[in-house]
Chain A
Amino acid sequence: MKIRATQAIMECLLEQEVDTVFGYPGGTILNLYDELYNYKDKITHILTAHEQGASHAADGYARSTGKVGVCFATSGPGATNLTTGIATAYMDSSPVVFITCNVSEDLLGKDSFQEVDITGIAMPITKATYLVRDPQTIPDVMRQAFAVAATGRPGPVLIDFLKNVTFLNAMIDYEFIPWTQNRSCSSIRALSHSHELKAPEPNLGDIDKLVEMIAQSERPLLICGGGVVRGRAHRQFREFAEKLDSPVAITVMGGGGFPGAHPLTTGMIGMHGSQASNVACNECDLLIAVGCRFSDRVALQPDTFASQAKIVHIDIDRSEIDKNVLTDHHIVGSAKRVLELLNKRLGQYHHPEWKEHILPLREKQPVEDCDKLTPGQILDAIQKAVPHDAIVATDVGQHQMWSIQHFHFEYPGQLLTSGGFGTMGFGLGAAIGAKMGNPDKVVIHTTGDGCFRMNCHELATVEHYHLPIITVVFNNGTLGMVRQWQHLIYHEHYSQTTLDRGPDFVKLAQAYGLKGKRVTNRAEMEQALQEALSCGCGYVIDCQVDMDEMVRPMVAGGAHITDFLLK
């Protein structure tokens, strides 16, 4: 069947069961948007205020639903505005297909208006990039791009269509093939010869060896990493942890992979990890890390990391093995499959003495009972007011660490945070994506005044699409995390971190047609939350917090994991 090239692009989206895309139109992508007009019954397009917001929204949609996110942007500045979002998705292995259009073939390479080599720019921050110059290749490229984004270790992919490829008179041969079948199409078949598009099947000898190591261990520790979340292996992980009867430390990206309130949880590990997690890491005799890449925020000092332990690494990506930390044993495969195989071979273990030594260390600080509003009070009030399955999207900094330390995440996709790239301004876009993908869930966006100011224009999107997202601003008038470092390490030289400036976030919310409230104590916070939950529209709570509040505990970068700078 012959159809328009642009029509084929839309049909290929439908093949992948895409019903929501985020984006921003412009000159070179006009043809695609013209076609989108014909597909408005089948594909919902969310127009954001800025391409960066669209990129984070597509990412947040992907993280919260487990599906592939899709984001459109035009050439030149439209495309470069995506780059922070692409890198954010890449560092956290989030599957997003970014679609841009470029100038037409006759203008390519001539420094034409709004021309940029986006496939070149995006190379180091994508799994693959495609520059499409021939309309006939559209179905192949689209199918391959989605397969690459979603399979193995997921990640972002960029497709750049030249404008002439999308001309409305460009006709191509096309046949609709659902994604479950099109994974066997020619372009993907060619790829599967050289690449394991599916996750590699774990080696059974490796599994048996780990079972033996577990039998020898008296002080095991599990790390729940982002791979458990991306692979939706939370059930298998929980069964494994309970069978092993081992404490479980959770990385920032692992939030939601193992229930935060589970009796075996020791909380976060690493730079702002709990005493329990970090001490357990230092004293365990067997460390099993699942889907965790031992980043410098976890393995702060790789040489002494878990120095008493045999380190076992389970990961879907072979190149992560022995990259940051040298391991004693590893299993390459998806978290779900590896854990399934392990669970089948594993009996019930008991480690009462070890647990008794470690688990009491995680006792939570009681929430301060004082007149001024503290971060602990804010988070406690949120936790008590919202449904336990509410999705939390954070920005980056102190409020992010506080949120992850305080909330108990129960399922993958409940916590949306930029762990690897640390992108300030990620949260609101991600919250928009999450709300689009999970209309029945309450979505909370926690942020700081520095982060919020970066992308607060997306409040326009929140308003237009009637998304009742609750933004909680930890407004301490400073870049809190940087200030904390300046306080502890830089002799209190508060260089360029004080944010003694506007806007008034309540008025800002109102200017965007939303509601807002400034709160200075716990009672006001609770009242504002009730209003926010019942008002049915976006709501901004401006929480006045002291600028010298700090994230505790803290271990300095590069230091030994139990050398706490702050307890």
Chain B
Amino acid sequence: MKQTISVLVENRAGVLNRITGLFSRRAFNIESLAVGVTDDPTISRITIIVDSGNSVVEQVEKQLNKLVEVIKVRTLEENSLIGRELMILKVNANNKTRQDIMTICEIMGAKVDDISPTSMTMELSATPDQLDTFQAMMRPFSILEVVRTGVIAVQKGGGKI
């Protein structure tokens, strides 16, 4: 089961290393990871997706809590979170295929960032599932490059972690 762990950490060198090191040495696999600074420049927020059972996630949470650099850890509730990922996708495109690609982009809400005689580059911010669908729809046109940021997420409602 995929679970989303949100971690507030001190924003300084070596902290990310310490967090990811904890995962690797206990053989917890990270599905996705995204890091960025929060409103407070001394604090960063890391969003980690793990695909494991509850006991593993509980152990991860406890181990993270022990690190001096970690300020707060929270596993977000799956059914009440807003999770988004950004994808940039470059695909082969020519006069024959361009219109079909545009149709898919419109349906999925992707924005075209660049165009050339032989290619198109689009961006889409959505849930990971929607990104997977978009990627699958683009595959027949021959994908040149895909870049994904990893999911960032917050809990719905007025609360904060």
Contacts and interface: CB of A to CB of B under 8 A. Distances in A.
Contacts of B69: 128
Contacts of B70: 194
A193 B10 CA distance: 13
B17 to A, nearest CB: 7
B65 A318 contact: yes
B59 A319 contact: yes
Interface string B17-61: 110011001000000000000000000000000000001001100
A131 B65 contact: no
A221 B50 CA distance: 38
A319 B63 contact: yes
Interface stretch (A119-127, A360-368, A493-501): A119-127
The interface centre, meaning the residue of B62, B67, B68 with most chain A CB atoms within 10 A of its CB, is B68
B14 A318 contact: no
A357 interface: no
Contacts, number: 39
Interface in A131-151: 131, 148
B86 interface: no
A120 B16 CA distance: 11
A322 interface: yes
A330 to B, nearest CB: 12
Given A120-B17, A123-B21, A124-B21, A319 B55 contact: no
Nearest to B8: A194
The interface centre, meaning the residue of A123, A194, A318 with most chain B CB atoms within 10 A of its CB, is A194
A148 B62 contact: no
Contact of B66 (A120, A191, A317): A317
Given A131-B14, A319-B63, A323-B59, A124 B25 contact: yes
A350 interface: no
A128 B62 contact: no
Nearest to B68: A128
A195 B68 contact: yes
A336 to B, nearest CB: 20
Contacts of B108: none
A348 to B, nearest CB: 36
Given A123-B18, A124-B25, A322 B68 contact: no
B4 to A, nearest CB: 20
Contacts of A195: 65, 68
A148 B58 contact: no
Contacts of B67: 128
B55 A322 contact: yes
Contacts of A317: 66
B42 to A, nearest CB: 10
B87 to A, nearest CB: 32
A59 to B, nearest CB: 20
B2 interface: no
B156 interface: no
B71 interface: yes
B43 to A, nearest CB: 10
Interface string A317-358: 111011100000000000000000000000000000000000
Nearest to B24: A124
A191 B70 CA distance: 9
B72 interface: yes
A416 B17 CA distance: 33
A458 B69 CA distance: 37
Nearest to B63: A319
B65 A191 contact: no
A120 B59 contact: no
A523 to B, nearest CB: 52
B61 to A, nearest CB: 9
B71 A322 contact: no
Nearest to A319: B62
A131 B69 CA distance: 13
Contacts of A194: 70-72
A127 B17 contact: no
A321 B58 CA distance: 10
Interface string A192-208: 01110000000000000
A318 B61 CA distance: 10
Contacts of A120: 14, 17
Nearest 6 interchain pairs by C-beta: A319-B62, A128-B68, A194-B71, A124-B25, A319-B63, A318-B62
24 contacts: A119-B14, A120-B14, A120-B17, A123-B18, A123-B21, A124-B22, A127-B66, A127-B68, A128-B67, A128-B68, A131-B13, A193-B71, A194-B71, A194-B72, A195-B65, A317-B66, A318-B62, A319-B62, A319-B65, A319-B66, A321-B62, A322-B55, A322-B59, A323-B59
Interface of A: 119-120, 123-124, 127-129, 131, 148, 191, 193-195, 317-319, 321-323
Given A120-B17, A127-B66, A319-B59, 8 more contacts: A119-B14, A123-B21, A127-B68, A128-B68, A131-B14, A193-B71, A194-B70, A323-B59
